[in-house]
Amino acid sequence: MNIIIKQIIALYFLGYLLFSGTVHAQTLRDGRTSVDFSSNWKFRKEADSAGLLANQKQNWQTVSFPHSWNVDDVMDDTPGYYRGATQYQNTIYWKTAWKNKRIVLHVGAANQEAAIIVNGKEIKAHRGGYTAFNVDITDYLVRKENVKNTVVIQVTNRYNPDIAPLSGDFTFFGGIYRKVFLLLLDQIHFADARYGSSGLRVSAMVDRQQNAKINLDGDIRNASVEQQAIVIETTLVDAEGVTIKTVRQKENLKPHAGFNFRMDMPQIELPRLWSPDLPYLYHLITCIYDSKGHLLDRLDNPVGFRWFSFDAEKGFFLNGKALKLIGASRHQDFLGMGNAVPKELQVQDLVKLKAMGGNFLRVAHYPQDPAILKACDSLGILASVEIPLVNEITESPAFADHSFQMQKEMIRQYFNHPSIIIWGYMNEIFLRPHFPKDKDRQEKYFKSVVSLAQQLEKLTRNEDSTRYTMIANHGNFDLYHRTGLTKIPMLVGWNLYPGWYGGKIADFGKQLEHIHQQLPDKPLLVTEYGADADYRIQSTKPIRFDKSVEYAVLYHQGYLNEILQKPFVSGGAAWNLSDFNSETREESMPHINTKGLLTWDRKAKNTYFLYQAYLKTEPFIKIGVTHGKKWGVRTDADSAQIGSGWLQLPIFSNADTVELLLDGVSLGARKPVDKTMMWAVNLSRGSHRIKAVAFHNGKLSGVDEAILDCEVLPYDLRKDKDWQELRINTGDNREYIDSMGNRWFPDQSYEKGSWGYIKGEKYRLKNTGRENLGTDVNIRGTGDDPLFQTQLHGLESYRFDLPNGNYEIELFFAELEAPNHKENLLYDLEQQGEKKEQQVIDRIFDIRIGEHILAADINVLGEVGEFKVLHRKFPLQVQGDGNLTISFIAKKGEPILNAIRLKKIKINQP
Ligand code: GCB
């Protein structure tokens, strides 16, 4: 056993013996000894500065990290979430064996301001919720065997005008949402007390001739009272564990001092290169030894040799070859966990991005778990990382200082990841320009932003000359251009949404051309583009802003075509890899931004399969998915058959031809257009086996099969004897799958022999540029908002032509014409400034069948209030002419109807 291994084992056992009680499992982090200190913390919320909780101080809860206190309140119907002070408490029992150790507390992330208090003394304050920090707590511990030491971490996610982000389309979950460790270090160790990194920066460089070298820049701390002679040794090991090269350097450390060293490992010949196809990783093991050869500290860093460049005309190049960067941006939250997501689960996102064919990740809008970058290194995903300067700034020296600190922390903590190619520092910083009513003052504000950008740019280039710098802007090109912001970074990112927040999908290409023309020397990346895709909404006639997955598929096709075809576009990052929480949003899924290619719990939507079809180099064929218990097929007046109808079946493939077989019978072969086919298949009620067979260059390239369990929406309720229930999403052209998995079908106006509404109009949001299908306000008390956000108003009746028998009818109403607290969505540029006060609508109506009053004086507002569902259910008998006409008789205002369900109970035998 060599000396290094012996030392590691000794350190390992030492750590194991020292900790008990609240301090748990011992691990090696980056090669050094650390102890997981994430369990058994006591937690409680405190009164915040506004005294909000003064009368209701919370009881202590036991929690472990990762932890967030906003998991539930961001999802409730009350706007806002707890943004205030909290406290975490734990204990450490000191052991004599620690005598010669430094105990460094490492906090992975605490959003947003944290104070570390040991035995009543505050020893560290940290600002910024997305990077780690270290604090040496040794001198504050009572160093007596088994004596209890109290560690308190105060954390608040209050609004603080001096800390970014000030606003944003994401939730600022409070908590210590990454793990906390105790590092057990020698008196001499790698250290970075200021920026929370390990203290070692590794630059691996390789040129076109494949001559490689590694430069090290490190900080060592000597905490002892003696001068010390040390040896720094660094060894490059390949992926198979073979040592490639070792270099050593002697240094003398002054007592009680920090020390910076530089060290070079030159002439590494013909290393294997790192790339998305072959992410070959070496390891660099860097150790400090004392003069007797005892190991004092050890760091293990990945090394990937690659070179890259961005060209304004030709795009991105990796290792001398053109490579289109394609992937997604990522937020870090997950269904039911907020930001407190175990890293094993987070890493799965990268596995999914890779499986999608992606080679690029925009870590947006803030630094994320180091495990994400580790996964990028090992999976071969190029990455950009940025700090959360989003939408706006505060023109204060404190805001600037905190931004500089964040940028330095980010660069130093993530520096050693070969996957990182870009450091970013602003996102859509002119989205929320201050002083809208004072143009002169506003110009000054713009200048402050530009000056801050210049300082951040300089800082970034000083910190790291090997990566590109980037600012991501929104579509208001002229503003960014005229103020000079586009000149500052090496690369400009554009978040473009034509065809979503306004305009047409086809405008995207023109916008790109325009930007390129205006900035011919600036490399360009599409840092965002996306469309809401609520996985519960389907449409056979997708339109902008309907939030259907089908519209999102069209949108992404249009964008991908442009990004892939235009050489000057370095690449694109879809917004977003998965749905994410944005507490203030109230769209079809309140509090969620549904632009993800994956759902919030990371299930693939059809848009994800589209990307696979576009990006995968190996053959790909996939029948799309639906979220419902069953697929919905619709009959219409022309359908010859009863009990069957048409389904637009989505199929995604990169093959040139696909043959479809229904229950073993071929339906023929077709060519996918833009990797997609919406194949109209006639299906009868019940289960069918569908098989898609792909052929490429005349050869079988893949097969996908699925069982389609079909529910038929009958056109003729008399001839079709087998329907049980009719669910209609009134006032809506879309299908909606409710929280029970049941499908609600689009509405239709009545036709003889069928069913539908008589008179009445579909509710539309007024005063907006949206082709919206209803309100975008949260319907309280339900998870099925899209069903109730649409509505028929002014209807005279709803009629079903039925066989005689017994039925049950359910009617759902929600008042949508009422003032709401909702602010315009900032990102929806077409909506800006348009908001008008909505009037309270007074409406009262009766519901009748013939002369029979089913319900009198329905007053939705009076009974349940606005944006809430009133539900009525009635048993009914249909006799005589088999026509069920439910009439809505206005007494005040117009009657409304948001959804209707008809259930068959018993049919009379003729
Ligand atoms: C943007 C923002 C991002 C939003 C996105 C959206 O431009 O940068 O934070 O989430 O648009 O979905 O509107």
Give the model's pLDDT for residue 457.
98
* Chain centre to alpha carbon of residue 324: 22
Q: What is the best residue among 593, 776, 823, 825 to mutate for testing ligand 1's pocket, by most ligand atoms within 8 Å of CB?
A: 593
pLDDT at residue 320 is higher than 60: yes
Q: Is the pLDDT of residue 22 over 50?
A: no
- The pLDDT score that the predictor gives to residue 29 is 55
- CA 164 to each of CA 112, 158, 395, 413, 461: distance values in angstroms, whole numbers, following the listed order: 9, 12, 12, 18, 21
Q: Which atom of ligand 1 is nearest to the CA of 427?
A: 8
Confidence of residue 9 (pLDDT cuts 50, 70, 90): very low
Rounded to the nearest angstrom, the distance between the alpha carbon of 470 and the centre of ligand 1 is: 17
Predicted pLDDT at 250: 97
Looking at the CA of residue 495, tell me the nearest atom of ligand 1.
7
Tell me which long-range contacts 554-558 makes (C-beta under 8 A, separation of at least 24). Answer: 554/505, 555/499, 555/500, 555/505, 555/529, 555/530, 555/531, 556/530, 556/531, 556/607, 556/610, 556/611, 557/610, 557/674, 557/675, 557/676, 558/499, 558/505, 558/506, 558/508
Residue 15 pLDDT more than 50? no
CA distance 423 to 414: 10
- Which of 3.50.30.10, 3.40.605.10, 2.60.120.260, 3.40.50.20 would CATH assign to domain 22-187? 2.60.120.260
Q: Give this prediction's pTM.
A: 0.94
Token representation of residue 390: 């989003």
- The model's confidence at residue 47, banded by pLDDT at 50, 70 and 90, is low
**CATH 2.60.40.10 domain extents, the chain:** 200-303, 620-719
pLDDT in the model for residue 825: 57
Taking the centre of ligand 1 as the mean of its atom positions, its distance from the CA of residue 825, in whole angstroms, is: 10
Which is more confident, 659 or 635? 659
Residue 427 alpha carbon to ligand 1 centre in Å: 9
Whether 6 has a pLDDT exceeding 80, the answer reads: no
Angle at 276 between CA 655 and CA 334, to 5 degrees: 85
Task: Tell me which residue has tokens 């970014």.
Answer: 164
Distance 169 CA to ligand 1 centre (A): 6
Minimal-distance CA residue to ligand 1 atom 9: 169
pLDDT, tens digit (0-9, with 9 covering 90-100), for 25-35: 455 455 578 89
CA–CA dist 108, 176 (Å, integer): 8
Whose CA is closest to atom 1 on ligand 1? 827
CA 576 to ligand 1 centroid distance, Å: 9
The ligand 1 atom at the shortest distance from the C-alpha of residue 474 is: 7
Closest atom, ligand 1, to C-alpha of 472: 8
Strands 631-634 and 699-713: parallel
Fold assignment, 620-719: Immunoglobulin-like (2.60.40)
Q: Which atom of ligand 1 is nearest to the CA of 532?
A: 12
For residue 402, report the distance from its CA to the centre of ligand 1, in Å.
23
* pLDDT tens for each residue of 109-136: 999 999 999 999 999 999 999 999 999 9
Please give the residue that has the higher pLDDT: either 16 or 686: 686
379-438 pLDDT, tens per residue?
Answer: 999 999 999 999 999 999 999 999 999 999 999 999 999 999 999 999 999 999 999 999
Nearest CA owner, ligand 1 atom 10? 169
Q: Cα(first)–Cα(last) distance of the chain, in Å?
A: 92
Give 229 Cα–ligand 1 centroid separation in angstroms. 53
Residue found under tokens 């529910």? 711
How confident is the model over 859-882, as a mean pLDDT?
94
Dist. CA 203 → ligand 1 center (Å) = 33
Ligand 1 atom closest to residue 168's alpha carbon, by position in its atom list: 9
Q: Which of 166, 167, 169 to mutate to test the pocket of ligand 1 (most atoms within 8 A of CB)?
A: 169
Contact predicate 459/407, CB 8 Å: yes
C-beta separation of 185 from 104 below 8 A:
yes
Tell me, in angstroms, the distance from the centre of ligand 1 to residue 573's CA: 12
Query: What pLDDT is recorded for position 460?
Result: 98
Distance 597 CA to ligand 1 centre (A): 14
Model pLDDT, residue 842: 85
Q: How far is the CA of 574 from the centre of ligand 1 (A)?
A: 11
Rounded CA-CA distance 26/182 in Å is 9
Q: Above 80 in pLDDT, residue 18?
A: no
Pick the CATH number of 200-303 from 3.20.20.100, 1.10.3720.10, 2.60.40.10, 3.30.70.2080: 2.60.40.10
Q: What percent of the chain has pLDDT over 90?
A: 87
Q: Are 353 and 616 in contact (CB under 8 A)?
A: no
pLDDT at 271 over 80: yes
Q: Whose CA is nearest to atom 11 of ligand 1?
A: 827
Burial status of residue 901 (CB atoms within 10 A of its CB: 0-12, 13-18, 19 or more): middle
What is the percent of the chain with per-residue pLDDT over 70, rounded to a whole number? 92
Strand partners, 214: 204, 265
- What is the atom index within ligand 1 of the atom nearest the CA of 431? 7
Identify which of 623, 698, 696 has the alpha carbon closest to the alpha carbon of residue 662. 623
**501-550 per-position pLDDT tens digit:** 989 999 999 999 999 999 999 999 999 999 999 999 999 999 999 999 99
d(CA 168, ligand 1 centre) in Å:
8
- Ligand 1 atom nearest to 364, measured from its CA: 9
For the cut 70, the answer to whether the pLDDT of residue 566 exceeds it is yes
Residue 339 has pLDDT above 50, yes or no: yes
Specify the ligand 1 atom closest to the Cα of 825. Answer: 13
Q: Count CB neighbours of 629 within 10 A.
A: 12
How large is the average pLDDT for residues 791-815? 97
Q: Whose CA is nearest to atom 6 of ligand 1?
A: 827
Which protein residues are within 6 Å of ligand 1, measured from CB?
Answer: 168-169, 427-428, 474, 495, 528, 575, 593, 595, 827
CATH 3.30.470.20 fits 724-904, yes or no: no
Residue with CA at minimum distance from ligand 1 atom 13: 827
The alpha carbon of 827 and the centre of ligand 1 are apart by a number of angstroms equal to 6
- Residue closest by Cα to atom 7 of ligand 1: 495
Identify the DSSP state of 390: B
CB 25 within 8 A of CB 36: yes
Kindly give the distance from the C-alpha atom of residue 828 to the centroid of ligand 1, in angstroms, as a whole number: 9
| Site to substitute for ligand 1 among 501, 528, 583, 828, most atoms within 8 A of C-beta | 528
Q: Quick one: pLDDT at residue 839?
A: 63
Indicate which atom in ligand 1 lies nearest the CA of residue 827.
Answer: 13
Output the CA torsion sign for 392, 394, 400, 404.
Answer: negative
- Using the mean position of ligand 1's atoms as its centre, give its distance from the Cα of residue 474 in Å: 9
Query: How high is the pLDDT of residue 4?
Result: 36
Q: What is the pLDDT of residue 17?
A: 34
- Residue 24's pLDDT is 46
Residue 888: which residues within 8 A CB-CB, separation 6 or more? 795, 796, 797, 798, 845, 846, 847, 895, 897
Rounded to the nearest angstrom, the distance between the alpha carbon of 562 and the centre of ligand 1 is 20
Is residue 895 predicted with pLDDT exceeding 50? yes
What mean pLDDT comes out for the span 288-316? 97
- As a whole number of angstroms, the distance between CA 817 and CA 734 comes to 21
182-215: string of b/e by CB count within 10 Å (b at 16+)?
A: bbbbbbbbbbbeebbbbbbbbbbebeeebebbbe
| Average pLDDT along the chain | 92
Residue with tokens 């978040």: 495
- List, for residues 359-370, the tens digit of each pLDDT value: 999 999 999 999
CATH architecture of 324-617: Alpha-Beta Barrel (3.20)
Which of 827, 828, 830, 831 is the best mutation target for the ligand 1 pocket, counting ligand atoms within 8 Å of the beta carbon and taking the most? 827
d(CA 184, CA 187): 10
Report pLDDT for 303.
98
What is the Å distance from ligand 1's center to 523 Cα? 22
Give the closest residue (by CA) to ligand 1 atom 4: 169
Per-residue pLDDT tens digits for 50-100:
445 545 556 899 999 999 999 999 999 999 999 999 999 999 998 888 889
pLDDT given for residue 32 in this prediction: 78
Residue in the block written with tokens 């089908």: 550
How far is the centre of ligand 1, averaged over its atoms, from the C-alpha of 767 (Å)?
Answer: 22
Is a pLDDT exceeding 60 seen at residue 733? yes
Question: Would you place residue 10 in the very low, low, confident or very high pLDDT band (cuts 50, 70, 90)?
Answer: very low
Q: For 544-553, what is each residue's pLDDT tens digit?
A: 999 999 999 9
DSSP assignment of 184-250 equals: EE-SEEE--TTT-S-SEEEEEEE-TT-EEEEEEEEEEEE-SSS-EEEEEEEEEE-TTS-EEEEEEEE
Q: What is the pLDDT of residue 831?
A: 54
Out of 363, 495, 823, give the residue to mutate to test ligand 1, the one with the largest number of ligand atoms within 8 Å of its CB.
495
